[in-house]
Chain A
Amino acid sequence: MSTPASAEERDAVPAETELLRFATAGSVDDGKSTLVGRLLHDSKSVLADQLEAVESASRNRGQEAPDLALLTDGLRAEREQGITIDVAYRYFATPRRRFVLADTPGHVQYTRNMVTGASTAELAVVLVDARNGVVEQTRRHAAVAALLRVPHVVLAVNKMDLVDYAEPVFASIAEEFTAYAASLGVPETTAVPISALEGDNVVVPSAHMDWYGGPTVLEHLETVRVDRDPSDDPARFPVQYVIRPQTAEHPDYRGYAGQVASGVLRTGQRVAVLPSGRTSTVAGIDVLGREVDEAWAPQSVTVRLEDELDVSRGDMIVPVEAAVSAVQDVEATVCHLHDEPLRPGDRVLLKHTTRTVKALVKQIPSRLTLDDLSPHPEPEALEANDIGRVVLRTSEPLPLDPYADSRRTGSFLLIDPADGTTRTAGMAGDPFAGAAGDTSPSVQRDDDGWDF
C-alpha cells in the first residue's frame, strides 16, 4: 500500500529546524496586531479558511481590505466584556525556524501579561510609533524585557511611511532606545525601521529605505543566534520524579527523571544532592531511551547515581564544585499578578523548580516605577502589575540561583495556599544587570530554624 517517496516528495518534506520563542510588546496604536498579522500572513502561515474568516469579519465591520489585526482577535468573552485576558500564543514556521510567539496585549494588564510572555522568550520585539519615538510605554517594555533577562531585544520602529521613510527619524529613536536598553543590561538590541501596514522590512526588504542595510524583522528572527553555550553555566538538575520499575527485568533500577535546567551534566561527574548535600557520582544518563555521556539544558533525561541515596521530587542534583547554597531568606524582584494585593505578613506557598514550600512575606522594601526605575520605599502593598522588591522567609532551605545567572533556577511563583491562585512571579537577586552597582549576594545563607 505504501510506496517509497520520490526525490521531489522528499524535498517537499520540511526538515527539522530550530525553535525560537519570542514575545511582542506594544499597543494597538503602535500597530502591533498589524505587525503580528503581517508576519503570519507574509510568511504564508495564514491558511485560506482563516483568511476567509478575517475577510468576512472585515466586511461585516464595513472595512474593504482584510484587517490583519483580526487574525489575532481573541475570545468572544473578551470582545463582549472589552477585556484582554492574557497572552495568546501563535505558531508559524519558515524553512529555517519554527516560531512560538507570545502575543501580549499592550494595554491595561500589560505588565503582568508581558512578564508572562517574556518569561519563556529568547527574544522580545518592542514596537514604537516612528512619529512618537521612545515614550514612557517603550521604556516600560524595555524594562520588562531587561527584568526578565530576555537575551535579545528587537526595536521595531513602525509607521516609517508616516515620517516619509526618513533615516534621521529612525536613527535617533534607535540610538536613544539602544542606550536605554544597554543601561538596563540588555545584552543585544537590534533596531529595524518598518511599516507593518505597508509591509516594509517586516518579511520583505523595503523599497523605500535604501539607506537601511540590515535584516527585515523576519530575517532577524530567522538568523539571530539564540542558543547560549550551556557549558558556561553550572549544571542544575531538579528531580521531578523517581522511576522505579521494580519488575523482573529491572529489579533494582532507580532513575531520577527531570529536565536539565541549566548547564551540562556528564556521566562520571561528582554531584551533590540538595538540600541534603550528600554526594555521589553520575552512573548513567538516558535521554528518553538513549544512553548518553552528557545531557544539557533543556533536555528531559533520566539520571542514575552510583550510590543509593534518598533522593526524591524536589531535590536538586548539582556538580559538587558548582553547588548553590540553600537559603531560607530570599530577596527578590517580583511582578504581582493577581487582583488581590500582596502585603507584608502574607503567608504563601513558594514554588521553585520542582519544590513547593511555605513562605512568609516579611517585607516589601520598595516598589519600582517602570517608567524611570525609581524606587518607592515601603509601599503598603503590591497591586496587580506592580514590580517590587520583596523579602521572604521560607520554611525549608531552597537552592536558589540568582535569576541573573539562571532564569530557570532563579525564578519562582508565590501561590495562595487557600485557593491555589498564582499570585506573584519572583526572580531571586538584583533586578537589573547594568542598573545597580550593588553586586553583593542578595541571598544569604541562614541556617536558623524558623517555623510558622
Chain B
Amino acid sequence: MTTATTPLESSGPGAGGSGYALTHLEALESEAVHIFREVAGEFERPVILFSGGKDSIVMLHLALKAFRPAAVPFGLLHVDTGHNFPEVLEYRDRTVARHGLRLHVASVQEYLDRGELKERPDGTRNPLQTRPLLDAIAQNRFDAVFGGGRRDEEKARAKERVFSLRDEFGGWDPRRQRPELWQLYNGRHAPGEHVRVFPLSNWTELDVWQYIAREGIELPAIYYAHEREVFARSGMWLAPGEWGGPKEGEPAERRRVRYRTVGDMSCTGAVDSDADTLDKVIAEIAASRLTERGATRADDKLSEAAMEDRKREGYF
C-alpha cells in the first residue's frame, strides 16, 4: 500500500559549493549508520526496539544498510501491548521473515493474565509496557537497546543523549547522563546496566518521511489515508477494537483518516486526512500546525511532565 516516489535529488561531487556536500538526509543517514556501527563494535548483546511504527522501520532500514552485505548483527524486540493494529502486526511478521531476523516479543497481555500487571481504568496500556520491556532486557541480558526516539518529539527528549545510560532498574537519571562531544559516544556501563541508543536523535518527523520517500521504504497501510470507523475521545479519533472502545455515548462514524504515529490502539489517535500517497503525506506534515505527539497521543497529555516521568521509570 505504499507508493515509491522518485528518489529526491542526491548530491555528489558538483552538488555543493566545494563539490563534496551532503544533503541533510545524507548527513543524518551517515550519522545514524555511524551510531549503529559503534554499538556493533562495542556491545555484546544489542537489540532493536521494533514497534512496526515508522521510526522503528526507518531504524531497521538503516541497520540493514549499515552492515550489508552481511546480516544485521542484532535481533528485534517488540513490546506487544495486545492492542495492536492488525496491519502493523502483519507488517512486523512479514519484515522479520523477509530479512531472516530474530524477533523477541514481550507481551503485556501475559503480565495481565498472570496478574502481575493491572489494567488501568482508562484502558490505556502504554504505561504498562515498561515492566515487560525491562524484564525482557534483563532476561536476555541486552546491553544496548536501540530506540526510535527523536529529540524533536517532546521537551523531555530534547536533552536526551544518543547513548543514554540506564541503571539496573532501567531508570534514567538526568544527572548521570554523560556529556556527548564530537562523535565520541561513551557506552561503558556496569553489569546489569544498559544503554539506550537513539540513532534518530537528530531527525525530525519530516526528515523521517522524506527519508522514507527517498529510500522507497514500505510502511504499514494505516499511515496512509483510508476509510475507517472511528469515535471521538479526548479530542482524538480512536479506532474501535477488542481493547474496549467505544464506551456508551461515544458514537462511531466512518471517516477518512490516517495515523501519524502507531502505538497502542487505546491511545493512538487518527487524524483526518486525504493523504494517500507519500508525497501527499510529506506535504501534509510540512504544512501541519500540530506536533505529531500533540495531534495523536493521549498519553502525553496526562501532564506537562508525563514523558519525563515515564522516561525516569525506564520507558522507551
Interface residues of A (CB under 8 A from B): 1-5, 9-10, 12-19, 47-50, 53, 57, 73-78, 85-91, 93, 97-98, 100, 112-113, 115-116, 119-120, 225, 227-231, 240-241, 243-247, 249-250, 253, 255, 257-259, 264, 288-289, 294, 296, 298-300, 313, 337, 349, 351, 353-354, 407-408, 411-413, 415, 419-422, 425
Contacts and interface: CB of A to CB of B under 8 A. Distances in A.
A2 B204 contact: no
B64 to A, nearest CB: 9
B70 A296 contact: no
Contact of A49 (B175, B186, B226, B294): B294
A18 B67 contact: no
A16 B24 contact: yes
B158 A89 contact: yes
B288 to A, nearest CB: 7
B8 A288 contact: no
Contacts of A97: 24
Contact of B291 (A50, A255, A407): A50
25 contacts: A1-B1, A2-B224, A2-B277, A5-B283, A13-B286, A16-B10, A47-B289, A75-B305, A77-B174, A88-B159, A89-B202, A93-B206, A113-B179, A228-B18, A229-B19, A230-B20, A240-B37, A243-B69, A247-B69, A298-B27, A298-B30, A299-B22, A299-B26, A300-B30, A422-B179
Interface string B189-217: 11000000000011010110010011000
B236 interface: no
A75 B24 contact: no
A291 to B, nearest CB: 12
Those 7 A-B pairs whose CB atoms lie nearest each other, nearest first: A420-B188, A49-B294, A12-B283, A5-B279, A229-B18, A245-B70, A16-B23
Given A48-B289, A415-B188, A14 B174 contact: no
B295 interface: yes
A71 B51 CA distance: 30
Contacts of B181: 115-116, 119-120, 411, 413, 425
Given A1-B276, A12-B283, A245-B70, A98 B175 contact: no
Interface size class of B (residues with CB under 8 A): 35 or more
Given A75-B155, A90-B158, A300-B29, A18 B23 contact: yes
A115 B2 CA distance: 44
Contacts of A19: 22-24, 27-28
A2 B282 CA distance: 14
B159 A18 contact: no
B210 A300 contact: no
Most B CB contacts (10 A, CB to CB) among A98, A245, A296, A415 go to A98
Contacts of B40: 240-241
B17 interface: yes
Contacts of A53: 304
B282 to A, nearest CB: 5
A125 B165 CA distance: 30
Contacts of B214: 16
Interface in B168-192: 174-175, 177-184, 186, 188-190
B182 A407 contact: yes
Contacts of A93: 204, 206
A411 B184 contact: yes
Contact of B16 (A227, A231, A349, A354): A227
B179 A14 contact: no
B169 to A, nearest CB: 17
Contacts of A351: 184, 186
B287 interface: yes
A257 B69 CA distance: 11
B34 interface: yes
Contact of A91 (B9, B22, B33, B204): B204
A425 B181 CA distance: 8
A264 B294 contact: no
B21 interface: yes
B14 interface: no
A75 B159 contact: yes
A15 B9 contact: yes
B20 A98 contact: no
B224 A1 contact: yes
A264 B213 CA distance: 29
B67 A243 contact: yes
A85 B8 contact: no
B277 A3 contact: yes
B89 interface: no
A113 B181 CA distance: 10
Contact of A18 (B10, B24, B210, B286): B24
B304 A241 contact: no
Most A CB contacts (10 A, CB to CB) among B3, B71, B182 go to B182
B124 to A, nearest CB: 20
A112 B65 contact: no
Contacts of B17: 225, 227
Contact of B33 (A76, A119, A288, A354): A288
Interface string B266-287: 0000000000110110110011
Nearest to B151: A89
B299 interface: no
Contact of A288 (B65, B174, B280): B65
B30 A2 contact: no
Contacts of A257: 37, 66-67
Given A12-B287, A245-B70, A425-B181, A74 B41 contact: no
